[in-house]
Amino acid sequence: MTQLALVIDLNTCVGCHACVTSCKEWNTSGEAGPMADKNPYGVDPTGTFFNRVQTFEVGDFPQTETIHFPKSCLHCEEPPCVPVCPTGASYKRPEDGIVLVDYDLCIGCEYCSWACPYGAREFDEKEKVMKKCTLCVDRIYDEELPESLRKPACVLACPTSARIFGDIHDPASEASIAINLSNGYQLMPEWGTQAANHYLPRRKVDIKVHEEDLMRSSNPLDKEDRGQRMPTTRVTLDDSTSW
Amino acid sequence: MKPAISVILLTTLIGVAQGLFLAYYSAEVLSLLLILPNQVLVGSGCAGIISLVLLVGGLIASFFHLGHPERAWRAATMWRTSWLSREVIALPITMGLIFIYSVLKLTGDHQIMFNLGNGNQVELATVVGFFAMIAVFVLFICTAMIYTCLKFLQEWHSPLTVLNFILMGCASGFVLASALSAYHDPQVFGYISGTAMVLSVAALASRYASLARNRNLRSPSTLQTAIGIHHPNIRQIAQGAMGGSFNTRAFIHTYGPAVVQLARRFFLIAGFIIPVLLLVISNESPVVICTLAFLIQYTGLLAERWYFFIEAKHPQNLYYQMIS
């Protein structure tokens, strides 16, 4: 069984919000209708988004790290929002595990938003229905697009490749490999929602720098006793190139 | 959670309606069984109609909660999984049965269905009322389970929620029925007002138990599990929207702790204690005092349902701690 999902690498996300804007651009232009905005250029702008990037500061100053944390619908394998829906507008597709809202069935009772512990659902103030990430279901199967573009808009937009899209039930997929190799985890595992989207944890990025890494201690010219050793003040080829 | 006015009105109004019907119907059945003095109740039809009006009022209030009220009928489809859907089915069934019961009572229909061993005869209205009584209890359970079934809203996820909904609905309905019986059927006033007092005290005990339970709740969700970073010191810097979002509007209330504490004290006193005291001294002019007791109790129960929402802390609020 297929379960499409996103894997988000918190090491490489730089918090540029490109996924947010490309998500909004793609999904507000689709045939499902616009995602309403209120005061977009005024005081207190607000509107419907499927995806947001939040920022957290971790640690005690000055030893702090900034975590940029993109959050959208996690397409849970046990979605608590689906069984509570009184109309059947919320459903999980058996063929690929995407959790969707049928905007024509939704009565806008907001009960599903109460049932989602992640706050992944947003009520569209203009269309009066509940909306959420669709994993760009209208483009990932679009055969008019070249195969490399059949991915969610946020994944294509990410400049640091922090977002990986794939089938987490296929052990050979890029998403599964990333989860397995980097200990990908789920959000709020305590509620048994089995979120399909995974996050890759922050890794230690400090490296030990040895003196000889900076200053070449074993100059082959010294060993072979050939020619004159270059004065260290002069710029060498090693200094000016990066290979 | 942010209190939803339409839902507060819906749950309190239909609670009164259900309790009012149960009060009069129970008095009727107990008379037939000769536990109460054998008599015909004059106010049964009137009680049924008031109950029906309150149910319709609750239904109208609930429509204001919907983005697309014209599609509300669709909400009956997912009764296999959704308690909200089950409520949407149970509510009109209850209304229909109470309507038939009231019409039979008001038109003076005396069609005999069967005889009881004690010489009393059971009329069609009483049989319809029996099914209405079952529908009333099913409706109570459906309404309460909408909140109880949400397991990560721990303040609601308890059998006490179901008990509270039943007891508070019955208490307020019996208090209103006391006023009605004082006017129409003084001979059952003692039974109805006595039961109203017992139910109000029981509702107070049950609600207090849930307050005590909720005071010591610890959510397994923390900011650490919410974003999966296990460091004791995490601060939110940005929540991804400057002007707020649906997540901040629908789940985060802005009332200060003083207002919340005032509401709790108010509903404990106005919702339970004052009505019981008024019922105790209601022998002088029962119609006026019981009506007053009902109005005070209903105001208290509105505050109780408001507090019920304020009390519940949604785990999604962990993601929305700071706007910038």
CA dist A21 → A55, A101, A122, A155 (Å): 16, 21, 16, 12
Per-residue pLDDT for chain B (324 aa), expressed as one digit of tens each? 999 999 999 999 999 999 999 999 999 999 999 888 888 888 999 999 999 999 999 999 999 999 999 999 999 999 999 999 999 999 999 999 999 999 999 998 888 888 888 888 899 999 999 999 999 999 999 999 999 999 999 999 999 999 999 999 999 999 999 999 999 999 999 999 999 999 999 999 999 999 999 999 999 999 999 999 999 999 999 998 888 899 999 999 989 999 999 999 999 999 999 999 999 998 888 999 999 999 999 999 999 999 999 999 999 999 998 765
From the first residue on, what is the mean pLDDT of each consecutive set of 10 residues in chain A (243 residues)?
95 95 94 89 91 94 93 96 96 96 95 96 94 94 94 96 96 96 95 96 82 67 58 62 62
Distance, in angstroms, between B112 CA and closest chain A CA?
A: 40
The residue whose two tokens read 């989860």 is: A179
Q: Do A83 and B247 touch (CB under 8 A)?
A: no
Chain B residues in contact with A113 (beta carbon < 8 A): 246, 250
- Return the residue of B nearest to A11 by Cα: B229
Name B7's Cβ contacts closer than 8 Å, sequence gap at least 6.
Answer: B62, B65, B305, B309
**DSSP assignment letter at B242:** S
Q: Do A107 and B71 touch (CB under 8 A)?
A: yes
The residue whose two tokens read 């308890």 is: B158
Q: Do B320 and A119 touch (CB under 8 A)?
A: yes
**ipTM at complex level:** 0.91
Chain A residues in contact with B239 (beta carbon < 8 A): 52, 54
- Which of A17, A20, A56 is the mutation pick for testing B, counting most B CBs within 10 A? A56
CA dist A219 → A59, A138, A208, A234, A238 (Å): 42, 59, 22, 15, 12
Chain B residues in contact with A44 (beta carbon < 8 A): 242-244
B32-49 tens-digit pLDDT: 998 888 888 889 999 999
Model pLDDT, residue A222: 60
Residue A62: asked if its preceding bond is cis (omega within 30°), the reply is yes
Closest CA to B29 of B132, B142, B107: B132
* Range A217-235 burial, b when 16+ CB lie within 10 A, else e: eeeeeeeeeeeeeeeeeee
Q: Do A49 and B76 touch (CB under 8 A)?
A: no
Q: Do B233 and A59 touch (CB under 8 A)?
A: yes
Model pLDDT, residue A209: 82
* Closest by Cβ to A86, choosing from B85, B234, B246: B85
- Which of B59, B65, B82, B320 is the mutation pick for testing A, counting most A CBs within 10 A? B82
Q: Do A107 and B69 touch (CB under 8 A)?
A: yes
Distance, in angstroms, between B303 CA and closest chain A CA?
A: 21
- Return the residue of A nearest to B79 by Cα: A86
Q: Do B244 and A46 touch (CB under 8 A)?
A: yes
- Which of A49, A91, A101, A107 is the mutation pick for testing B, counting most B CBs within 10 A? A107
The DSSP code sequence of B118-150 is TS-EEEHHHHHHHHHHHHHHHHHHHHHHHHHT-
Q: Are strands A4-9 and A163-167 parallel, antiparallel or unpaired?
A: antiparallel
Distance, in angstroms, between B220 CA and closest chain A CA?
A: 7
